[in-house]
Structure 1
């Protein structure tokens, strides 16, 4: 997941076009006066007073269909089934378990994950957040293989911890910190739309990126793991062939393949795990929606053969087996299953994409559409020949939609990142499509 560019401009633009009450203005000022300032989180452009279903509400009571949600709104905000699980756990007076003790909610959650995970992944470990889960996965790979280097992709984001930032290679999070973690090696992100050679044949493109992968491995012994999202942060979907070849190369070289599914797990792409579109990795990292948008919770799911670290602690977290968090996560998975949200995401994702493709035929500003399920992206361009990024137009369109109750974020400055709660309805998708159409017309 990459950070958007020109976030300060985005905030100023959105605030300028938003009518705010005294309550909202005062709370924003109080926020600015006490939090450390950092782009992407503080100062802010608005206030949230309620989050429910697929919507967030601001200080004036206006609701926004949230197509961002930081990825936590898989089952919808304040899902009643998840709330009931919390209430039950609190009533039973079991909200924490010290390390070296187990509890029923944690074990039941672990068993459920093993049941639904891709074949061969049958060991789990939990932690408070996605950054820590990445750390656990990488430490496991290093200790298991006896190697210390990593491979990952330029521009990606895998968390805010120092090792995760080093692996992620997003310049926004690295600049000014001095030397990063030794051995963090990076690859070009496969790009079928804007690759530097102007190629359109997918296998030709795949083979060139695979050649680069093999070259890096040949010149860098001691690689423990390749860490990547199975579907990239900008919703680029690599081919099955690409991931099959990557896994084959890694297996020959004794490199573990780690899929970061913090954003995509639990139905978002039309499969329970995005890996199911391709191949099973050695380790899957989960988070965000895993905690139901209520508690922070994350973890890893890996192969039985990796269970060889009885003498080490790679996830020594206070809330490793927190029963309250486990009850929430189990309720999220149960809701996804009982409400058939995986199939729902697949069906509505196809509907959403078809609607976006209709807009693409209507507006030359739309250069490319990518993604699977309810994990979609729209790439806005100055013109389709040069594919120059239409960053100003993207910011204007985002502000237009925000003022009409549709919230999303931008990636790489010009890509509309469209990831709604999986409880979104067809009627709500129609509203998004019509709002985008009106906004695109206003730009012409």
Structure 2
């Protein structure tokens, strides 16, 4: 394994791109428009882009397009570049590994980098029990393997998920998603034995955690049957569904029921893990120790890597050769992942996530005082969202306002700020920046957001 990369100063990070918003052309600019025409000739229309600006460089919290425009990035590749775009130590670790070993396939001739990532995951995922890991390529692949392992361990067939969930675009995960369009429309038939139980959505259901859990459990017992249920897969903070934070006691009550009934409870931490919420894993906010934890997105700083980590006796249920894949746990991605874990500790990124939450929520609360279409502000760490409702609507009705979200995203993009939409009804604006984003950049983005709300009239 390569030597640990010398740490850059956490107090004075060095950026290769100035950390500022800068718009120098129309959005998209002429070079982006030219590239987009080339793209339309050769790339499937099914692979759409939220904004057709073509990125040439990225560093810290800033994206630079081919026309020289600089965007404040509040998407981070949907939660991938958590430690910052092109973080110096991650880049150096990957570059060093590229010169040593690029690929052997761990299931043929193994290497230390894979083992080290598994050690770090065992150390940082919730729970002090013995854990083991399998490394794969993507979040959806982690979900598939988590389900496969749970079925093997329990000898049961059924899989349960929650309303408003999102788990991926493979055949099984499309069946596990709550929202069909655009992820599943026309792509069936889908995998069977997948059941959708009601979730905890405090803004809309008003239920306490134990009461919401009782509703979920009643569904599982009556519709599925505990004796046939292999696993319950839960995002501790839902991502695409709209950053729903469950009521206190919800997850631990479900875990108690799962344990009592021999059901494997799986935390899908693909978007919420790796320091995103001010903890290494969002489950920690709720005192939840899942049986299995799924990691991806931010785990390798932008390189493709994902993992299933969990109780050793569950992870060992598979027969030898039953788990793996050609590129799973690639040594370059593993080297980057080790550097990501080191960066989180060295740069104090858990505290940075908490700083971002304070700054964002404070600014959003001030906007909510002026704009009544902001119905809810929620989230933890650098995973914050606002839910928009129709103006003048009685608060008990909370009618979704997806049109406002679409207009705000488009307005901000023209001014050099990239926001993401989310939510079952498309009425959630989410803030998912890297932990490198400064308070100055957040304040600048909130000024643009204020202008966007004012422009709605």
TM-score strictly above 0.5: yes
Quote the RMSD (CA, aligned, Å): 2.0
Q: CA offsets, 1:406-436, max 9 Å, x none?
A: 1011113221011000111111111122221
Say whether residues 1:231 and 2:237 are aligned partners. Answer: yes
- Distance in 2 separating the partners of 1:128 and 1:202: 34
Partner of 2:401: 390
Instruction: Identify if the C-alpha distance between structure 1 residues 203 and 360 changes in structure 2 by more than 3 Å, giving closer, same or farther.
Output: farther
Partner of 2:68: 61
Say whether residues 1:174 and 2:178 are aligned partners. Answer: no
Give the secondary-structure state (helix, strand or coil) at the position aligned to 2:85.
coil
Instruction: Choose from 279, 295, 307 the match for 1:271.
Output: 279
Query: 1:132: Cα distance to partner?
Result: 1.0
Moved more, 165-174 or 126-135: 165-174
Where does 1:83-122 land on structure 2 (aligned, <5 Å)? Answer: 83-91=91-99, 93-98=100-105, 99-119=107-127, 120=129, 122=131
Instruction: Identify if the C-alpha distance between structure 1 residues 256 and 425 changes in structure 2 by more than 3 Å, giving closer, same or farther.
Output: same
Q: CA offsets, 1:377-424, max 9 Å, x none?
A: 111111352311122222111112111211011113221011000111
Q: CA offsets, 1:27-46, max 9 Å, x none?
A: 1011111011116449x622
Residue 286 of structure 1 contacts residue 298 of structure 1 at CA under 8 Å; is this kept in 2?
Answer: yes
Moved more, 363-372 or 180-189: 180-189
Partner of 2:143: 134
Residue 118 of structure 1 contacts residue 275 of structure 1 at CA under 8 Å; is this kept in 2?
Answer: yes
Query: 1:76: Cα distance to partner?
Result: 0.7
Say whether residues 1:244 and 2:252 are aligned partners. Answer: yes
Instruction: Choose from 158, 167, 171 the match for 2:167.
Output: 158
- Distance in 2 separating the partners of 1:85 and 1:301: 23
Query: What TM-score comes out, normalization by structure 1 length?
Result: 0.90
- Distance in 2 separating the partners of 1:321 and 1:208: 39
Query: What TM-score comes out, normalization by structure 2 length?
Result: 0.87
Query: 1:338: Cα distance to partner?
Result: 0.6
Where does 1:322-401 land on structure 2 (aligned, <5 Å)? Answer: 322-383=330-391, 384-385=393-394, 386-401=397-412
- Distance in 2 separating the partners of 1:182 and 1:420: 36
- Distance in 1 separating the partners of 2:185 and 2:408: 30
- Distance in 2 separating the partners of 1:225 and 1:210: 13
Partner of 2:134: 125
Query: 1:212: Cα distance to partner?
Result: 3.1
- Distance in 1 separating the partners of 2:416 and 2:28: 14
- Number of residue pairs the alignment of both structures matches: 421
Instruction: Choose from 414, 420, 426 the match for 1:403.
Output: 414
Q: CA offsets, 1:77-97, max 9 Å, x none?
A: 111111110122123x21222
- Distance in 1 separating the partners of 2:434 and 2:29: 28
Give the secondary-structure state (helix, strand or coil) at the position aligned to 1:194.
helix
Partner of 1:300: 308
Partner of 2:228: 222
Query: 1:22: Cα distance to partner?
Result: 3.4
Instruction: Choose from 6, 11, 31 the match for 1:23.
Output: 31
Say whether residues 1:309 and 2:320 are aligned partners. Answer: no
Moved more, 236-245 or 116-125: 116-125
Q: CA offsets, 1:284-329, max 9 Å, x none?
A: 0010111211x21111111112143352434321123321111011
Moved more, 132-141 or 185-194: 185-194
Query: 1:164: Cα distance to partner?
Result: 1.6
Instruction: Identify if the C-alpha distance between structure 1 residues 271 and 296 changes in structure 2 by more than 3 Å, giving closer, same or farther.
Output: same
Query: 1:239: Cα distance to partner?
Result: 2.3
Moved more, 394-403 or 271-280: 394-403
Q: CA offsets, 1:83-117, max 9 Å, x none?
A: 110122123x2122232322122212211221222
Moved more, 420-429 or 139-148: 420-429
Query: 1:201: Cα distance to partner?
Result: 5.6
Query: 1:263: Cα distance to partner?
Result: 0.7
Give the secondary-structure state (helix, strand or coil) at the position aligned to 1:193.
helix
Residue 214 of structure 1 contacts residue 249 of structure 1 at CA under 8 Å; is this kept in 2?
Answer: no
Query: 1:330: Cα distance to partner?
Result: 0.7
Instruction: Identify if the C-alpha distance between structure 1 residues 117 and 204 changes in structure 2 by more than 3 Å, giving closer, same or farther.
Output: closer
Query: 1:182: Cα distance to partner?
Result: 1.5
Partner of 1:186: 196
Q: Which runs of 5+ in 1 are unaligned?
A: 1-16
- Distance in 1 separating the partners of 2:215 and 2:228: 23
- Distance in 1 separating the partners of 2:289 and 2:27: 49
Q: Which runs of 5+ in 2 are unaligned?
A: 1-24
Q: CA offsets, 1:226-254, max 9 Å, x none?
A: 01101112111112311111111111221
